Amino acid sequence: MFRNKKSKKPCKYIFVTGGVLSGVGKGITAASIGAILKAKGYEVSMQKCDPYLNVDAGLLNPVEHGECFVTHDGVETDLDLGHYERFLDFETNRYSITLSGAIYRELIEKERSGGFHGKTVQMIPHFTDLVQEKITKASENSQIHIVEIGGTVGDYEGLSFIEAIRLFANRVGNENCLYVHVVYIPWLNTSKELKTKPAQNALKDMQGFGIIPDVVVCRSERPAPREMCEKIAKFAGIPGEAVLNLPDIDSVYDVPFNVLKSGVLEILDRFTGNKKSPDMKRWQEFSRLRGKKWAKTVRVGLVAKYVGNEDTYICVTEALKAAAAWNKVNLEIEWINAETATKRDFAKVDGLVVPGGFGARGAEGKIKAATYALDKDVPYLGLCLGMQMACVAAARKGKKKKAGSEEFGAGVGENVIYIMEDQKGKESTGGTMRLGDYPAVLKKGSKTAKIYGTTEVTERHRHRYEVNQEFLGAIEKGGLMVSGTSPDGKLVEFVESPKNKFFVATQAHPEFRSRPLNVHPLFMEFIKSLK
């Protein structure tokens, strides 16, 4: 039941939990461990278990929770899955996210349909058993499965997940489970010292729930003395080399190297039985390029509604940063508030990116950005809403002065962007958009096809609205041509400007498929056009 289908050997499980406070870095820690294990040749999968009562992440406030990441098979998820994909260069799926709300819904539906035959439904064993089943399902075909438990150990809503992963060791054997606990060591400016008491209390909580961590990761604002880590090791009852200090650093992509330098690598070797050195050559090359000061600096204007939280557009910014590194240029991202954007803002940057989003707020600023880029031959990359607003901008230039989006109130004769037929009536419900991978056919000889190096592509989507093809004449008069459609030709997937140096926009979200070691070609070419 728990054996890997390919190797016929028991799958190994690594559970990553957090203490003291949320946002301590569990996702990056888990992803870094995964990257190292993949570099050792393992088939690695990852999963996020989150205690939110939400059924999916599509309706979560992006300001509070950051970006809504979409898997290739069409599930709206937590942004940590984006970290997993970037670090491991693989694809997560619908089994890679488990939310409390979804677990409760499944249990209730089973109970209402008579699936429990009148028995009392309880947190233990029913909730915890179902969590374990989700973990087992997500680990299929993997040699090592890493599970991040969201929230903070001790939080009421997360206790059932902690109990589930404790019980999981009984199912698969203690030798097949490794527990990593991430804690925070605060710096007190008044006494000029780091304090371990919150970490000690977090470890005590974990022990109280029946789990003794095999590895403790100490996050801190600045490096912690080795003797402090030894103190925590004694308190936790584990060897000193099993305590790793991860202070704040400039780039999360250096975290795998910090793990490699620690005694944690030996622990992973003993746990897996594999002492092979991980092949980190590409990581090292990326680190070298990213850390170098280049002669050329490019400035990218990100025209967005949420300018106070970089996590809202983290896949976009990470794709830009990686593309800059491989193109051997320095990158400066200029955040441009779409609600107040002016030509003066656009003139300060070398290129413009308009990311996805919803709602009328800031829409006119995004249209202004596309118009400016068309008129001034400024490189432009439009993503999802960024393509829609580019089409509106082109239609207005093509004499459709009142062109707009139905999402923002545009009526017949003005709705250059209108709602998809199968999306009508679903505007307020989660998980119902056009989500996940969809194919597109690119126009032969187009700039877009040349960038991809093929005329057949697949990209991830998240939208309800599309280009109204009744306005294609106006859009073309305004300077844009359709460079890619759905295979049946009914949906516009890509547009470009034949005259501009670089002006490409897509209804898709290519940023979801961009990796630091395998950058998406649209981002690579966009940055290249700025050099």
CA torsion sign for 192, 194, 195, 198 is positive
CB-neighbour burial class of residue 166 (10 A; exposed 0-12, middle 13-18, buried 19+): middle
Q: Are 242 and 233 spatial neighbours (Cβ–Cβ below 8 Å)? A: yes
In sequence order, what are the residues at sequence separation of 6 or more whose Cβ sits closer than 8 angstroms to the Cβ of residue 132? 164, 167, 168, 171
pLDDT reading at 467 higher than 80: yes
Q: Which range has the worst mean pLDDT, 1-15, 186-200, 359-373, 503-517?
A: 1-15
Q: Is the pLDDT of residue 431 over 90?
A: no
- Residues 207-227 have pLDDT tens digits of 999 999 999 999 999 888 889
Residue among 498, 494, 86 nearest 323 (CA): 86
Q: Assess contact for 227 and 253: CB atoms under 8 A.
A: no
What is the pLDDT at residue 422? 80
Residue 334 pLDDT greater than 90, yes or no:
yes
Strand order in the sheet with 351-354: 330-337, 297-304, 351-354, 380-383, 503-506, 492-496, 481-485, 434-442, 456-463
- Tokens found for residue 403: 């062109």
Q: Where are the alpha helices (DSSP H) in 440-531?
A: 447-452, 472-477, 521-530
- What is the residue-averaged pLDDT of the chain? 92
Residue 55 above 60 pLDDT? Answer: yes
C-alpha dihedral, 444 to 448 to 451 to 454, nearest 10°? -40
Compute CA distances 377 → 26, 346, 352, 354, 372, whole Å. Answer: 43, 12, 11, 16, 8
Q: What is the mean pLDDT of residues 425-448?
A: 88
| Token representation of residue 516 | 């630091």
SS3 of residue 25 by DSSP: coil
CA distances from 400 to 138, 342, 523 (A): 50, 22, 31
Question: Cα dist. 375→171, 263, 351 in Å?
Answer: 64, 57, 13
Neighbouring-strand partners of residue 459: 438
Q: What was the pLDDT predicted at 428?
A: 65
Q: Which residues of 323-358 are buried (b: 16+ CB within 10 A; e: fewer)?
A: bbbbbebebebebbebeebeeebbeebbbbbbbbbb
Q: What percentage of the chain carries pLDDT values higher than 70? A: 98
Q: What is the pLDDT of residue 3?
A: 42
- Model confidence pLDDT, tens digit, residues 250-305: 889 999 999 998 888 999 999 999 889 999 999 999 999 999 999 999 999 999 99
Helix (H) or strand (E) holding 290: helix 281-291
Confidence of residue 62 (pLDDT cuts 50, 70, 90): confident
Averaged pLDDT, 26-51: 95
Rounded CA separation 390/394 (Å): 6
Whole-number Å distance between alpha carbons of 122 and 107: 10
Q: CA gyration radius for the chain?
A: 25
Nearest to 456, CA basis, from 471, 436, 437: 437
| Tokens coding 66 | 């950051």
Q: Which residues contact 375 (CB under 8 A, 6 or more apart)?
A: none
Q: What is the pLDDT of residue 59?
A: 72
Q: Which of 13-27, 53-67, 221-235 has the lowest mean pLDDT?
A: 53-67
Structure confidence at residue 293 (pLDDT) = 95
Mind listing the domains of the chain with CATH numbers? Answer: 12-285 (3.40.50.300), 294-530 (3.40.50.880)
Is 310 one of the annotated active-site residues of the chain?
Answer: no
According to the model, what pLDDT value does residue 127 have? Answer: 95
Beta strands in 186-231 (DSSP E): 187-188, 193-194, 215-220
To 10 degrees, the CA torsion angle through 217, 221, 223, 224? -60
**Global confidence as pTM:** 0.93
The three-class DSSP label of residue 260 is helix
325 in Cβ contact with 299 (< 8 Å): no
Residue 54's pLDDT is what? 81
- Report residue 8 as tokens: 């016929």
Nearest to 182, CA basis, from 389, 25, 309: 25
pLDDT tens sequence across 304-322: 998 877 889 999 999 999 9
Q: What is the pLDDT of residues 378-423, one digit of tens each?
A: 999 999 999 999 999 999 999 999 999 999 888 888 999 999 888 8
Backbone angle region of 151, left / alpha / beta, with phi > 0 → left and psi within -120 to 50 → alpha: left
Kindly name the residue from 72, 511, 520, 525 that is annotated as catalytic.
511
Tokens coding 338: 């779409």
Q: Is the pLDDT of residue 186 over 80?
A: yes
Token digits for 154? 């001790």
User: Measured between alpha carbons, how far is 108 from 31 in angstroms, rounded to an integer?
Assistant: 33
Residue 421: phi and psi, rounded to 5, are -55, -45
Coil vs helix vs strand at 184:
strand
In this prediction, residues 195-216 reach a mean pLDDT of: 91
Place of tokens 């607003």: 389
Phi, psi (5° rounding) for residue 397? -65, -25
Distances (CA, A) of 510 to 30, 149, 318, 449, 514: 24, 28, 12, 14, 7
- 212 closest CA partner among 133, 153, 171, 263: 153
Rounded Cα distance, 434 and 45, in Å: 26
Q: How far apart are CA 57 and CA 62, in angstroms?
A: 10
As a whole number of angstroms, the distance between CA 306 and CA 61 comes to 11
* Residue 464 scores a pLDDT above 50: yes
Q: List the beta strands (DSSP E) in 214-267.
A: 215-220, 243-247
Cis peptide bond upstream of 125, omega within 30: yes
Which of 49, 68, 384, 391 is flagged as catalytic? 384
